[in-house]
Structure 1
């Protein structure tokens, strides 16, 4: 499995630049490879990339005994502490770093995610909707090999879900009283 830190969002006028922007949502991107090809992805919003934020993510997202490859972000050292095999590959800066073999597919998936986002949504409230958007892209990617089963699978999921009021589905700021 390959993991990387990523952000959705951009700078707002008057907001902080770079990773400190108030419009950015941090998430962990993980890609499972088999025979050098991506099989499944996982996108999980996190509060940051500290040990405290990544510990619950790792316990929830990574199967025991997994070998995880990362770019050496300090927070990913939590993987070794939790007993996973953690291999660090230091990537060169710039475009060359996105094309090295260990991270090639991870960067392709992240690039496709962000391209789809900017092509579909011209104005996007990242803090509010990032979790839903990431879940939708993850669902479609993980089921892309069996398109015929996607709709029946979704129908089964809907049938097993309890009814939900509009107030629970829509963000509180959008509910009109």
Structure 2
């Protein structure tokens, strides 16, 4: 229907559009924002907490909007250290905002930055989703979406593109015009740096045209 000549071309254009879903200079989250990490990928036996071998670790920020959820941000990170978490917070959340986290030490530097940190510590039989309900709702929806899209077989090298698409869809979930969404995506695609096939798949030897 679109006149694409091969599966490779169609797949490449999918990832080009996913990368274009991150608008340059987009507005930061503000107000009160919940932040937490999660793993995406197939279940691993014997692995708990922040330990894993093959899953992708992501950090998620969800803006509070009354009892609901406003906009979100997501990023894949190598580990849950302060050196990985703080750049995400500073790029995603406006100074002066309230950042709601658990007691993980990786968020400790927030106390010395231009944020007000709200800490909720897990005690007793409470589930983490009770402490940070909005961000865990987003994580649950993301995992469900990945399961439906990839049947749980998440490719680590393409997690960033998956997160871009989910964030784009979520932040525009209440849009009344699907046509305007496509127009906005095309506009953003014109504003970002172009991606070649070799930049999307490092092992490829040919370019996508």
Normalization by structure 2: what TM-score? 0.72
The answer as to 2:165 corresponding to 1:136 is: yes
How many residues align? The count is: 171
Gaps of 5+ in 1: none
Residue number among 151, 170, 173 corresponding to 1:122 in the alignment: 151
Aligned match for 2:201, one of 157, 168, 171: 171
After TM superposition, the score normalised by the length of structure 1 is: 0.84
Q: Which whole-Å CA distance do the structure 2 matches of 1:4 and 1:163 have between them?
A: 31
Corresponding residue of 2:175: 146
Q: 1:60 maps to which residue?
A: 91
Work out the CA distance in 2 between the residues paired with 1:75 and 1:63: 19
Tell me the distance in 1 between the aligned counterparts of 2:152 and 2:144.
Answer: 14
Identify the structure with the greater helix proportion: 1
**What is the rounded CA distance, in whole Å, between the counterparts of 1:74 and 1:31 in structure 2?**
20
Structure 2 distance, partners of 1:47, 1:156, is 31
Alignment match of 1:28 (pick from 26, 51, 59): 59
Question: Hey, what does 2:9 align to over in structure 1?
Answer: none
- Structure having greater relative contact order (Cα 8 Å, sep ≥ 6): 2
Moved over 4 A (4+): none
Identify which of 33, 39, 44 aligns with 1:7.
39
The CA distance in 1 between the partners of 2:197 and 2:68, in whole Å, is 40
Q: 1:108 aligns with which of 137, 144, 149?
A: 137
**Distance verdict in 2 for CA 1:123–1:172, change over 3 Å:** farther
What runs of 5+ residues in structure 2 fail to find an aligned partner? 1-32
What is the deviation of 1:98? 4.2
Q: Is the 8 A contact 2:146 2:154 kept in 1?
A: no
CA-atom RMSD in angstroms = 2.3
Q: CA offset at residue 33 of structure 1?
A: 1.2
Q: Is the 8 A contact 1:40 1:142 kept in 2?
A: yes
